[in-house]
Chains A and B, each alone.
Chain A
Amino acid sequence: MPSPQRMPSSRRPSRRRGRRSPLATVVLLALGLVFTGSSYALFTATSAGDAATAASQESIDHGQKLFAANCATCHGMNLEGTEAGPTLLGVGAASVDFQVGTGRMPLANTGPQAPEKPVMFTEEDIQAMADYVASVSPGPGIPEEEYLQTTGDATRGAELFRINCAMCHNVAGAGGALTQGKYAPALHGTSPKHIYEAMTTGPQNMPVFNDANLTPEDKRDIITALKYQEEAPSPGGYELGSLGPVAEGLFAWVFGLGAIVALTVWITARSN
């Protein structure tokens, strides 16, 4: 892909006065296209995406075979999509890595939503399919390691999570219901890479949080906050699934009141 750095060198000849080459129009047109194209690429491609572009042809070929055998029934031989599944043109390597890497794809059966399942492929196979899909048409790539570290700002991340994510995933990442049997899954145990990929690709019913919306640093902060919440010991004791007042009320009725009724029965029991 041409880079904007080449522009100044090729622009100089066209500025000369009095000499107008017959190729000037063509060069100008080409320049314009290069400029538009490269700036478009600069603004749309995730900065993380460029890292994973260097895929070997071998891997792409392996991925194509795997794709034809496992995915093409629904997504089409050329990623064009069928009635059973959407097109994969432009979804990028991140989407493949997320969907296959969390076991959501291949789909076991149709339903409101693809549930998380045991992963069906090895790391290499998933990488190969991701390479293949990315080679057909570009899209968000697998994120760079530096944004997957849990060294960001947890305070900021938690605030961003509350504003952008908590309405579906619950403030503690415990998940929540959506309409018609769909749901936002619980986030505990999800790897930083998959969290990042979910934000960039917007799987299932999730909206896309692109880099203009949440910068890679924002995403890293969110991952930091989630991982902190997951790994830090609960200060108040067992968390009852972090589900809030429903779990607390159920516990109070079943175990609290159960214990109290048992004690009243004991207190009023006649001594033998």
Chain B
Amino acid sequence: MSTTTGQRPEPSTGAASTPPPSLPEKWRALPLPARNLLGAAVALLVVTAFLAVTGDLTALRLATVGYTFLALAGLQLLVGGSGQISLGHGAFMMIGAYTMALLVLHLPMLPLATNLFIVVAVSAVAGIAVGAATARLHGPYLAGATLILAVGLPGIAHRYHDLFGGSNGLNIRTVGVPPFLDGVVTTSEWRALVVWFTVLLVLAALATISGGRLGRRMRAIRDDETAAAMSGIPVGRTKVVAFIIASAAGGLAGGLQAYALGTVTPSSFALVLSLTLIAALVLGGIGSLWGALWAAVAVVYLEVWASDLARAMDLGHNVQHNLPIVLFGVVLILVLRFWPLGLHGGLQALRNRIARR
């Protein structure tokens, strides 16, 4: 608008006279990737400290929270970011996990980092295939198409028994603690750290995408496709890109799961996983990566607490198996009843209320 802004207000007139920029201003002046990497480094320190306090027993559980967080963060970008609902996210975790297991079994000389890169590449290719095929589908149709993926894929492991090991799955041995840290950390602690290092690194990348131009393009498409297109945003391509990013994140999460647990079975990637992921996302809060974190904690710990509870009360085997699902459902209903925007929305409302006082 060159006419109406003939006399543009000079934005930095007061720069010389104002005091030096405060800390928050300096922080905002940093490029987005740098801010997110610093944040990830701090988070890694927190996780390490937590691990040092809690010790070996919770290490595996912590690793589980880590890769679940990553899978949910990818799903968050897809569902909360671009408005596409996928009920087949678990399928991409399965692709990643089996890729990882097959790599370790058949190409044992490859280092872990290379394996993880290959896992990302393979699941991204799977994401391109699925995303390109479903780019024209909306809402329930997309959900249905991705649902088929989650239902059908585990069957392949049964069908090709020799390659994928059938219902017993594949067992792998991954390298443990490097020699110079021997005795300082245990194997499971080391694995938890590797998982969290990878997760936080990728999360910094996801946060950069989500907070930047691409994320805004996705949100614009989520809100109004026609208006987004008339603003010059390639709608179809952006939706496919969102799908690919989510698939790659899901696949990497699966690869990390295989690494941390040392075993992959088709039953752990059944339809229930995909549905749990999307339900957990609603529980944690759609739209923010924080929501994905609360969702990951809920997925892992609600099950643990329910099992502990059932055991403590000496309930039967059947109850012990089903209590986690019941508890998850009850918590989901309660949270949505009182905090319709999920845990993250609830916490934000709480913070705002405290800030106003």
Q: Do A and B come from one complex?
A: no
